[in-house]
Amino acid sequence: MASTTVLITGANRGIGQGLTECFLAEANHTVIAAVRNPEHPTVQKLQELPKDPDSQLIVVKLDASVEEDAKNAVTELQQKHGIDHLDIVIANAGIGYIYPTVADVKISDIKAHMECNVYGVIALYQATRDLLKKSSREPIFLPMGSSAGLLINHLPIPNAAYAPTKTAINWYTIRINDEDEWLNCFTIDPGHVSTDLGDGAAVAVGIGEKAPLSVQDSCEGMMKLFARATKKEFGGKLMVYTGKVSQW
């Protein structure tokens, strides 16, 4: 069986950690955990995750808020670890720490969210594009989506720093998929997942202390999508972890 190489940003927490665990359990997978701080205790926990005997974990530093980090990470993967292609890149790293109205949001907070959630995704795409092109299969570039960024089914809650970043990601997803005929670029709404970010949002909008969906259930749904993802079926679309296609 041919090996599959997967790179996941924000891999040591929440959804990123859940996907890392799922891919490591698959046979013949090289899973690259891109994390902001490789020395953080949560990264050590990644090393302890169960894995298939023929799969391996590589940890690399990548801070989505630092423009050059994606390029530096790719260089390290090539020179230190011999990575010569990527099959799946999941731009999962993101921040969401404040949920103001448009009247109250600070420009500095909008910039901080854009820096990580949008600019970081574009930097990752540009840095990994050549390695994705060397995949022997139809490669996937996946920016993590969110229902917070919907326009047609707009959620009537204050979210003026985080939500617009996900709307921007939707536009870039469509354009990347159109511009690169060889690449399957789509986004997934993972649901309202109980992570640090998801629970913080739940408290902020007054729906409880925890988000309703577990990391495990969300990731299991997403893994089913990765298993059947083709450009013809998924390319340029916003999928939901349940398998449905969402309107933008």
27-56, pLDDT tens digit by residue?
A: 999 999 999 999 999 999 999 999 999 999
Whole-prediction pTM: 0.95
Parallel, antiparallel or unpaired: strands 184-185 and 56-61: unpaired
Q: Which two tokens stand for residue 238?
A: 């916003």
Segment 193-216, tens digit of pLDDT: 888 777 877 777 677 788 878 999
Under DSSP, is residue 232 helix (H, G, I), strand (E, B) or coil?
Answer: helix
**pLDDT beyond 90 at 184:** yes
3-state secondary structure 106-172: CHHHHHHHHHHHHHHHHHHHHHHHHHHHCCCCCCEEEEECCHHHCCCCCCCCCCCCCHHHHHHHHHH
**pLDDT beyond 90 at 16:** yes
Q: How many domains are contained in the chain?
A: 1
What pLDDT score was predicted for residue 203? Answer: 77
Residues 217-233 have a mean pLDDT of: 97
Average pLDDT, the chain: 95
Report the DSSP beta bridge partners of residue 187.
238
Instruction: Name the residue among 192, 188, 242 with its Cα closest to residue 214.
Output: 192
Residue 90 backbone class (left: φ over 0; alpha: ψ -120 to 50; beta: rest)? beta
Residues 79-93 have a mean pLDDT of: 98
The domain in which residue 241 lies consists of: 4-246
Range with the poorest average pLDDT among 17-21, 58-62, 122-126, 206-210 = 206-210
**pLDDT beyond 60 at 1:** no
User: Which domain CATH number covers 111?
Assistant: 3.40.50.720
The b/e string for 121-154 (b: 16+ C-beta within 10 A; e otherwise) is bbbbbebbbebbeebeeebbbbbbbbbbbbeeee
What pLDDT score was predicted for residue 129? Answer: 99
Higher per-residue confidence, 111 vs 205: 111
* Residue 34: DSSP 8-state: E
Residues with catalytic annotation?
Answer: 162, 166
How wide is the angle at C-alpha 78 spanned by C-alphas 76 and 79, nearest 5°? Answer: 65
Parallel, antiparallel or unpaired: strands 245-246 and 238-240: antiparallel
Sole residue written with tokens 């902001």 = 36
Distances (CA, A) of 147 to 103, 104, 144, 152: 22, 22, 11, 10
**pLDDT beyond 70 at 103:** yes
Q: Tell me the residue length of the chain.
A: 248
What pLDDT score was predicted for residue 154? Answer: 84
Segment 155-167, tens digit of pLDDT: 888 999 999 999 9
